Amino acid sequence: MSQSFRPILPGAVVGVLGSGQLGRMFAIAARQMGYRVHTFSPESDTPTGQVADVEIAASYQDLDAVQKFAQNVQVVTFEFENVPAAAVEIAAQFAPVRPGRAVLHTTQHRLREKSFLVANGFPTTGFKPVRSLAEVRSAVEHIGCPAIMKTAGSGYDGKGQTKISDLTSGEKAFVAAGEQEMILESFVDFELEFSIVAARGLDGSFAHWGIIENRHRHHILDMSITPATVSEEVFGKVIEITKALVDAFDFVGVLCIEFFLTRDERILINEVAPRPHNSGHLTINASRTSQFEQQLRAVCGLPLGSTEFVSAAAMGNLLGDLWQEGEPNWAAVCACPDVKLHLYGKIEPRPKRKMGHLTALADSAEAAVRHVEYAREQAGKK
């Protein structure tokens, strides 16, 4: 095995850029396997920092701090893709960075991501760039309405997105966003919204958890469910697209591709996240290998683990709204025998902020959904 492919073994230090709940669950998986974890972000007492061995609070623009961080780890990975390119380049001088800078550069900007998908022949929603009011008019004329206006960068959980119904609402959305660079996308009347969480190793090995159905509420993921009900033909095409995309990226790590399935069974890529994803949280309890352990295995050059599910499962998010009348009733949640509680250690519950999630295992996907819904109702009963 060549030097570049020599595995990074337990006992080594893994560095994580970002410090939210994804990093927290990654750190838990890494420490279970005997690794040490250092996390770097502008904040302290973070979800990741609470369980990491070392928490470094510094700006991503502080390149001296980034360099010192990278010098003390054996590999660097991400739980948050919007890290400035300069920080990634500095880190890469001292430790392997997985996934690489080129993937982050593409996926942290919607126009670059869509352009990459089109250039490489992947099916995606129609889109047009918007950088001026004149381009709003041109884009609306080309795309039609209804459509979705999105900021080109730094959007998640529905932030920076507006559904427009005509040219006037498109112009208002552009002005309200500060006339920054945006993208206008075709509105998709879909039959199913789903994701594929997949992994690719240093040696090009590939693994996935199949199709996970996603149900949203107020533009935020509310529930993820497996198995999803799709035809064998759709399943095969989706896996083929996913494998081709991770190979095109020369990806190393875990990523999520969000898809639409239209009513006439066309498959369209909505967005790509170059990291573990909210919809993959159910793999912690329901799969032989969680998405977080898999991320660790991939970036450390270890063999990928089995992605077999032990049962049907559903995951429901716990948003800060649940705390409006005080601390939720966790004792009642824990009285639900088929439900697992995961809290992220966030100090301040705010509306629409993801504070944790529930996962239920059952004989069928819909039974798991019912278990999660019931447990979430119990959480709100004081």
* Tokens found for residue 78: 């991400």
Taking CA atoms, 228 is separated from 125, 193, 196, 279, in Å, by 22, 10, 11, 12
Give the tens place of pLDDT for each residue, 218-255. 889 999 999 999 999 999 999 999 999 999 999 999 99
Q: Is the pLDDT of residue 300 over 70?
A: yes
Q: d(Cα 76, Cα 99) in Å, to the nearest integer? A: 9
Return the exposure string of 223-237: e unless at least 16 CB atoms fall within 10 Å of the residue's CB, then b: bbbbbbebeeebeeb
Strands of 147-151's sheet in order across: 127-130, 182-186, 147-151, 161-164
Torsions phi, psi of 82, nearest 5?
A: -90, 55
Q: Is residue 297 a contact partner of residue 252, using CB atoms and an 8 Å limit?
A: no
When the candidates are 2.40.30.10, 1.20.120.1200, 3.30.1490.20, 2.60.40.420, the CATH number that belongs to 126-186 is: 3.30.1490.20
The upper half-sphere exposure of residue 217, i.e. CA atoms within 13 Å in the direction of its Cβ, equals: 11
Q: How far apart are the first and last CA of the chain?
A: 58
Distances (CA, A) of 120 to 113, 114, 115, 287: 11, 10, 9, 32
pLDDT in tens, 87-128: 999 999 999 999 999 999 999 999 999 999 999 999 999 999
Q: Domain spanning 190-379: which superfamily?
A: ATP-grasp fold, B domain (3.30.470.20)
pTM of the model: 0.94
The whole-number average pLDDT for the span 203-216 is 97
Measured in whole angstroms, the distance separating CA 224 from the mean position of its chain's CA atoms is 13
Q: Write the DSSP assignment of 31-60 as a string of letters.
A: HHTT-EEEEEES-SS-TTTTTSSEEEE--T
pLDDT band at 382 (very low <50, low <70, confident <90, very high): confident
| CB-count burial class (<10 Å; 0-12, 13-18, 19+) for 77 | buried
For residue range 126-184, list pLDDT tens digits in order. Answer: 999 999 999 999 999 999 999 999 998 865 655 678 999 999 999 999 999 999 999 99
Q: What is the pLDDT of residues 316-349, one digit of tens each?
A: 999 999 999 899 999 999 999 999 999 999 999 9
Instruction: Please calculate the CA angle 35-257-106 and round it to the nearest 5 degrees.
Output: 85
Q: How many CB atoms lie within 10 A of CB 273?
A: 20
Confidence of residue 381 (pLDDT cuts 50, 70, 90): confident
Average pLDDT over residues 287-308: 98
Architecture of domain 3-97: 3-Layer(aba) Sandwich (3.40)
Average pLDDT over residues 63-77: 98
CA distance 124 to 185: 10
Place of tokens 């690794």: 35
Q: Which residues pair with 339 in a beta bridge?
A: 360
Average pLDDT of the residues of the chain: 95
